[in-house]
Amino acid sequence: LKTPIQKFLINTFLVHLAIGATTASANEGMWTPQQLPHIEKDLKNAGLEIDPASLSQLTEFPMGAIVSLGGCTASFVSPQGLVITNHHCAYGSIQYNSTPEKDLIKNGFLAKSLDQELQAVPGSRVLVTVEVKNVSDQIIDSKTAAFSGKKRIAAMEVNEKRLISECEKDVGHRCNVHSFYGGLEFHLIKQLEILDVRLVHAPADGVGKFGGDTDNWMWPRHTGDYSFYRAYVGKDGKPAKFSVDNVPYAPKHYLRLATEGLKENDFVMVTGYPGRTNRHRLPSEVNFSFGTNYPAFIKASGEVIDIINRETNNRKDAEIKYASTLAGVNNYFKNRQGMLDSYRGGDLLERKQKSFSELKTWVNADKTRKQEYGAGVTATEKLIAERDAIIQHEFLLSYATPRFLSSARVLYRLANEKTKPDIKRESGYQERDASRIEQGQDAIDKRYDEQVDKALAIHFLKQYVAQPKKYQNAAFLSALGLKSNADEATIKIQLNKLYAGSKLGDKATRLAWLKRDLADFKASDDSFIKAAIALYFDDQRRENRDKELSGNIQRAYAQYMKALIAFKSSKGEAVYPDANSTLRVTFGTVSGRTPAGQDGMGWAPFTTLNGIAAKNTGEGEFDAPAAQLEAIKNKSFDKYYDPKLTSVPVNFLATLDITGGNSGSPVLNKRAEFTGIAFDGTLDSVISDWDFNNATTRTIAVDLRYILWQMKVVDKADNLLTELGVR
Amino acid sequence: LKTPIQKFLINTFLVHLAIGATTASANEGMWTPQQLPHIEKDLKNAGLEIDPASLSQLTEFPMGAIVSLGGCTASFVSPQGLVITNHHCAYGSIQYNSTPEKDLIKNGFLAKSLDQELQAVPGSRVLVTVEVKNVSDQIIDSKTAAFSGKKRIAAMEVNEKRLISECEKDVGHRCNVHSFYGGLEFHLIKQLEILDVRLVHAPADGVGKFGGDTDNWMWPRHTGDYSFYRAYVGKDGKPAKFSVDNVPYAPKHYLRLATEGLKENDFVMVTGYPGRTNRHRLPSEVNFSFGTNYPAFIKASGEVIDIINRETNNRKDAEIKYASTLAGVNNYFKNRQGMLDSYRGGDLLERKQKSFSELKTWVNADKTRKQEYGAGVTATEKLIAERDAIIQHEFLLSYATPRFLSSARVLYRLANEKTKPDIKRESGYQERDASRIEQGQDAIDKRYDEQVDKALAIHFLKQYVAQPKKYQNAAFLSALGLKSNADEATIKIQLNKLYAGSKLGDKATRLAWLKRDLADFKASDDSFIKAAIALYFDDQRRENRDKELSGNIQRAYAQYMKALIAFKSSKGEAVYPDANSTLRVTFGTVSGRTPAGQDGMGWAPFTTLNGIAAKNTGEGEFDAPAAQLEAIKNKSFDKYYDPKLTSVPVNFLATLDITGGNSGSPVLNKRAEFTGIAFDGTLDSVISDWDFNNATTRTIAVDLRYILWQMKVVDKADNLLTELGVR
């Protein structure tokens, strides 16, 4: 599973520093729409039958049908705004609508008519990319280019906010500036933002999450990882907040379902929003991630999982509340462990060091080059080391922070920012962010349990105070009423006091703080509000420190990146930007892999219903619905039988270059018809985020035939099948 | 494993009725040397780099290096007559030289010099095919063509014996007439017959038979199924019986070892002596084999296995004696079960019935055709039904016959035949057969244990007398002193009496009977000799009945076959003859298979040393030698490491059309260099003997690199490696 949000975010820096380069290899490449004209011939040769040029037209078919859910990808599949994405991408909404009495996670959900559709989890969006513009010269204009540090970041932010504000004058749209090539280029991306999203259909967990964490990132796979949303707009056809008066959105384009099943070696293509890749990082960044950060992350995640399981044991309500969080943590826990295993069995660092050393040799071999890039490359190494030291020392902070202290900080920061004119406010605290902040605070209750949250905070606070004092944040401890040598009993007593002293757990109380001013905050005796105020000065200090560093890194890293592009270019190699949550296209073929699995074995390109019956244990992660097992047993294959596979295909493998954020992406055939939905990669190749290997990297997708078979034969979703045009 | 000899032979008929047809499909086809000019282009296109025409030159390279062991294939691999074949083909010789004190089966064997080489099991031969001649018009001359029944067979035998006798005037050669296209064509095949064969090297059973019956016919596979013989001749270079004065044979041609390892999709070719395929049998033959004969065979074989295991338990000497027999029975037991499983899961009979019905429609649609083939086709169906009824009713006879009663019958028949001039004697009892008969009788002791043999006879006699009386052979029971309603106690008493009353268990006594005349036999009071004499009249009756039927079948089946060839030809399809233990060539590619194994998995083309370590349990069938495991653990890969596989390859899969008799065949690369040795097929495709399926049929071979690695790193067979030209 590639999931959208990593709850405990590692990298809090403004500018995502990501660089990348194409290789001559077959299926590597997350192409930007602008780059597509350059690979038209490759697409044609690979078997694409539609005009490749159409792929660079964002508002035409098929790109107009591909949408972002903010962290996941999805696509329109009917003229009534029906959207298909992964079950794990809709999991938050399924969980949000579940109660112990009406357990949609376990039983699945099917709206038989529009009025039965359920509001998605607050904050849900359907975003349709309508324009991409290179604004590098406007973000780093001549004035900004002369600045460094915090001043540089501030100037960039002013430019960014102005561009965004102008862009968002087109009501119903959301605009963002994304950094490409590690801050060398900036693109302004404009998206239609549909605010009213509803849950239409999800299969039972025993289908949508069949195999659970055991099968996650694994092959052979048998997961029906699909669900349906519907986009709603106001009666005027414009995006509007949820209202019973809203009507289904009529997308300009939607995908048609393929009528022919995929076969081995067929051309396939994925369009979607990959989150992040790190294919050309510095050796020191590789070393820090794999030597320090990932091991720390794996350790902490394992503890989070244990604590959530322990504290929700026999508490069905708490279990449902934490199901989504747990799935996310488990997912990244396994992912990072897989990366680390590959890293330890390989020679990535050696290769990085070798190529970085070659780059430096090349730079220094020529006077002009040395003058142009030399300082930038040297500075980058030094600044990255500073940044990584900060990340390492502050690693446990977010784990040790009670959920409502985080809320209090957001609320107090908002009150502070609201004293400024909107355009001067910090990004994330402007008027355009108001509803996102509100929804964030609104949604907490359905995913929060005090017992769990407190146990997590106590556990990590203990670790935090066990660190050398010089790495501890005195302001943070002081705000919690703790000393640097606090023992477990004291931590517990103090946290009990803090949790008891706050009313932020009450939704109405919490949301009311969104409207209050600074005087209200200062007069409050809410324990977490008081702690947030106490922390404010230090939070500002850390933010300024980070901005100073970020400004310098951006300037240096852009130089390094320029040098790298020039170096590669001198060797005839093109460079494409690493993934950065913007719309990309990747293409490849349906293809198994050998060797794989045990000695002498390989992976077939398809799994089938036979494997579901074989894996089913009737409990836990392998608990297929009885109706499904009965249909398999009776060979009720309908028209979805594949004679070569002697059953209905379930999941398939393809040589596609995807990563987290691509979850929910449609897999299109040579005619750009919908043939399945990408949802995962394989554990021994997840290191492809850093180090792509054509021989091993595979995307795992749900076959359309399985989705339709399950909907028709098992879930009797005839209303949706009709809407999808299935006869 | 494909083993040479099926101990309990099902079909005792003189003329092997086997028909076949090529399809347009890629890797189906066991081509005769004469047919090779027709597929020259296919061979070139597939990647063969040597001149394909050279393959039809039996006395040139490489065909001159390919030899038959009579049931297995082998090849010369050094100028000193060194021969490589399968471990399971040399198993009889390894077992023959083993004792509880010097267990060559368990420990393996390596002759460090010529004088340490051991005599192979009596009857061992190295046969080099030197000429193939179509003699159809001489076997069925105009006079013979007019005959039917026994008279026809007799006339054919006269012609056959004359041709053989003329051919064998070339001393040191053995000639045989083989039937092609189910008795439509006959070829005289002349082979140099090397009589002195010695065991040179065999790996330990934990290598040569690693995986045992569990892995037999299975993939992934890790069996080092190779052994070495050496051919010896008299000092004059001519074949001679074993003598210490004999010298290694200098073959005109021998295979060179490939210096480059095989990769997936590489061209490969197998030359060898496939035993029998049944690709175009009548529907009634398919129905009889799968509906009656194979199920009966599987039941009886299972009982034989149980009895041998029970009676040899804790008797190491008896266990060694029956090791080879047990391996053979186990092998066919699993093979036939695999065929039956495929048959029951498929529609072979329906397809057979459909195509046979099409053939009949085509024959009857035209007057000339109806006149030419009509009667033959009708008669074939009727005669085959008669034959199958006899086979069914006599099925248990051979199982119920004590080993030395069989000996006594052979000895008494020989004394009878010897009263005639040699050319008039029954085939198999001529002077040319004398040494084969003697060796057969000589070798019994090393594979015989009275307790086991008696237990088998008693078990199957009980079943025999439980049949309806009309299916019992009164003469047989009477000769054993039994009535048709004998109970178990009576059978035991009577068999104890028979076994006690015979001296044939004494080798010298037994061999002395080879020289005795009819009067000596009639005067004997040896219990089995007396029984054989008592049975003689009925044995003759049955033989005459079978010959009458065979003559009629031959005539009718040839007509049916002619009709089939004409029918196929009318549709543009060529027909090649089914396998009949004559030299054939098949070509294909190194190739895994998907799907295969569990759902979503497939077979990789290679296994590696990693799999040996993973499978090893240290006991029973998975007991790799300690030195081998140590070498694997230490990654002592020498130069046999494959970077893609990250280890040394062990076995590989290829799309080659082979069957029993191909065991030991060299796998040649595009330059006709030795790259490995074929030893098995896969259980779910053994039905290819009847019904070839390109998608599923795979040959399993030992990779040369594994053989050399094991010989060098583990077994320190430096003397042989030097002889093989390995530096």
Answer whether residue A706 shows pLDDT above 70.
yes
Closest chain A residue to the Cα of B695, Cα to Cα: A644
Q: Hey, are the CB atoms on B600 and A594 less than 8 Å from each other? A: no
Closest chain B residue to the Cα of A596, Cα to Cα: B604
Return the pLDDT at B574.
72
Q: Hey, are the CB atoms on A594 and B610 less than 8 Å from each other? A: no
Q: Hey, are the CB atoms on A599 and B605 less than 8 Å from each other? A: no
B57 falls in which pLDDT band (50, 70, 90)?
confident
B337 falls in which pLDDT band (50, 70, 90)?
very high
Q: Hey, are the CB atoms on B610 and A599 less than 8 Å from each other? A: yes
pLDDT (tens digit, 9 = 90+) per residue, B384-399? 999 999 999 999 999 9
Chain A CB contacts of B614 below 8 Å: 598-599
- What is the nearest CA distance from A263 to chain B, expressed in angstroms? 12
Name the least confident of A397-401, A626-630, A681-685, B389-393: A681-685
pLDDT (tens digit, 9 = 90+) per residue, A43-90? 899 999 998 888 888 888 999 999 999 999 999 999 999 999 999 999
Q: Hey, are the CB atoms on A602 and B598 less than 8 Å from each other? A: no
Answer whether residue B128 shows pLDDT above 90.
yes
Q: Hey, are the CB atoms on A604 and B595 less than 8 Å from each other? A: yes
% of chain B residues with pLDDT over 90 = 87
- Across the interface, of B592, B599, B607, the residue whose CB is closest to A614 is B599
**By a Cβ cutoff of 8 Å, what residues of chain A touch chain B?**
219-222, 264, 592, 594-608, 610-611, 614, 645, 651
Return the pLDDT at B535.
97
Return the pLDDT at A693.
86
Residue A88 is among the residues annotated as catalytic for this protein: yes
Residue B88 is among the residues annotated as catalytic for this protein: yes
Query: CA B584, B585, B586: angle at the middle one, nearest 5?
Result: 125
Q: Hey, are the CB atoms on A614 and B595 less than 8 Å from each other? A: no
User: What pTM was computed for the model?
Assistant: 0.85
* Mean pLDDT estimate for chain A: 93
Query: CA B127, B132, B138: angle at the middle one, nearest 5?
Result: 125
* Positions of E strands within B282-389: none
Closest chain B residue to the Cα of A614, Cα to Cα: B599
pLDDT (tens digit, 9 = 90+) per residue, B205-215? 999 999 999 99
> Cis ω on the peptide bond leading into residue B62 (within 30° of 0)?
yes
Q: Hey, are the CB atoms on A598 and B220 less than 8 Å from each other? A: yes
pLDDT (tens digit, 9 = 90+) per residue, A430-460? 999 998 999 999 989 989 999 999 999 999 9
B22 falls in which pLDDT band (50, 70, 90)?
very low
Chain B CB contacts of A603 below 8 Å: 594, 600-602
Answer whether residue B10 shows pLDDT above 80.
no
**By a Cβ cutoff of 8 Å, what residues of chain B touch chain A?**
219-222, 264, 592, 594-608, 610-611, 614, 645, 651
Chain A CB contacts of B221 below 8 Å: 600
Closest chain B residue to the Cα of A595, Cα to Cα: B604
Chain B CB contacts of A264 below 8 Å: 594
Q: Which of B599, B651, B700 to mutate to test the interface with A (most CBs of A within 10 A)?
A: B599
B4 falls in which pLDDT band (50, 70, 90)?
very low
In angstroms, what CA-CA distances link A555 with A16, A551, A569, B384?
13, 6, 21, 90
Rounded Cα distance between B707 and B679, Å, is 13
Rounded Cα distance between B1 and B621, Å, is 15
Identify any residues that bridge with B85 across adjacent strands, giving them in sequence order: B227
Select from A49, A24, A229 the least CA-distant residue to A124: A229
Structure tokens that stand for A113 in this block: 């008519």
Return the pLDDT at A5.
30
Identify any residues that bridge with A257 across adjacent strands, giving them in sequence order: A674
- What is the nearest CA distance from B307 to chain A, expressed in angstroms? 35
Rounded Cα distance between B613 and B605, Å, is 19
Q: Hey, are the CB atoms on A600 and B607 less than 8 Å from each other? A: yes
Return the pLDDT at B540.
96
Return the pLDDT at A231.
98
Q: Hey, are the CB atoms on B220 and A601 less than 8 Å from each other? A: yes
Chain B CB contacts of A599 below 8 Å: 220, 222, 607-608, 610-611, 614
% of chain B residues with pLDDT over 70 = 96
Q: Please say whether the beta carbons of B711 and B625 come within 8 A.
A: no
Q: Please say whether the beta carbons of A670 and A44 come within 8 A.
A: no
Rounded Cα distance between B275 and B583, Å, is 10
Q: Please say whether the beta carbons of A120 and A93 come within 8 A.
A: yes
- Across the interface, of A592, A594, A600, the residue whose CB is closest to B611 is A600
Answer whether residue B495 shows pLDDT above 70.
yes
Return the pLDDT at B326.
93
What lies within 8 Å, CB to CB, of A342 at 6+ separation is: A684, A685, A686, A687, A691
Pick the more confident residue, A694 or B581: B581
Closest chain B residue to the Cα of A345, Cα to Cα: B646
Closest chain B residue to the Cα of A607, Cα to Cα: B600
Q: Hey, are the CB atoms on B604 and A600 less than 8 Å from each other? A: yes
pLDDT (tens digit, 9 = 90+) per residue, B642-653? 999 999 999 999
Chain B CB contacts of A684 below 8 Å: none
Residue with tokens 């057979």: B352
Closest chain A residue to the Cα of B613, Cα to Cα: A599
Q: Please say whether the beta carbons of A352 and A286 come within 8 A.
A: yes
Q: What number of H helices and E strands is found in chain A?
A: 25, 19
Return the pLDDT at A582.
94
The whole-number average pLDDT for the span B613-631 is 97
Residue B38 is among the residues annotated as catalytic for this protein: no
Rounded Cα distance between B488 and B475, Å, is 19
Residue B71 zone, left/alpha/beta (φ > 0; ψ -120 to 50; rest) = left
Identify any residues that bridge with A194 across adjacent strands, giving them in sequence order: A126
Among B205, B215, B225, B715, the active-site one is B225
Among B78, B87, B88, B453, the active-site one is B88
Answer whether residue B67 shows pLDDT above 90.
yes
pLDDT (tens digit, 9 = 90+) per residue, B358-411? 999 999 999 999 999 999 999 999 999 999 999 999 999 999 999 999 999 999
The whole-number average pLDDT for the span A149-158 is 96
Return the pLDDT at B27.
67
| Chain A, chain B: beta-carbon pairs less than 8 Å apart | 81
ipTM reported for the complex, 2 dp: 0.83
What lies within 8 Å, CB to CB, of B503 at 6+ separation is: B509, B510, B526
Q: Hey, are the CB atoms on B594 and A610 less than 8 Å from each other? A: no
Q: How is residue B603 annotated by DSSP? A: E
The whole-number average pLDDT for the span A702-723 is 98
Residue B692's Cβ-side half-sphere holds a number of Cα atoms within 13 Å equal to: 25
Q: How is residue B660 annotated by DSSP? A: T
Chain A CB contacts of B599 below 8 Å: 220, 222, 607-608, 610-611, 614
Return the pLDDT at A27.
67
B34 falls in which pLDDT band (50, 70, 90)?
confident
Name the least confident of B278-292, B312-326, B571-585: B571-585
pLDDT (tens digit, 9 = 90+) per residue, A550-574? 999 999 999 999 999 999 889 877 7
B59 falls in which pLDDT band (50, 70, 90)?
confident
Q: Hey, are the CB atoms on A222 and B600 less than 8 Å from each other? A: yes
Rounded Cα distance between B90 and B96, Å, is 10
Q: How is residue B1 annotated by DSSP? A: -
Return the pLDDT at B177.
96
DSSP track, B287-305: HHIIIIIHHHHHHHHHHHH
Return the pLDDT at B39.
77
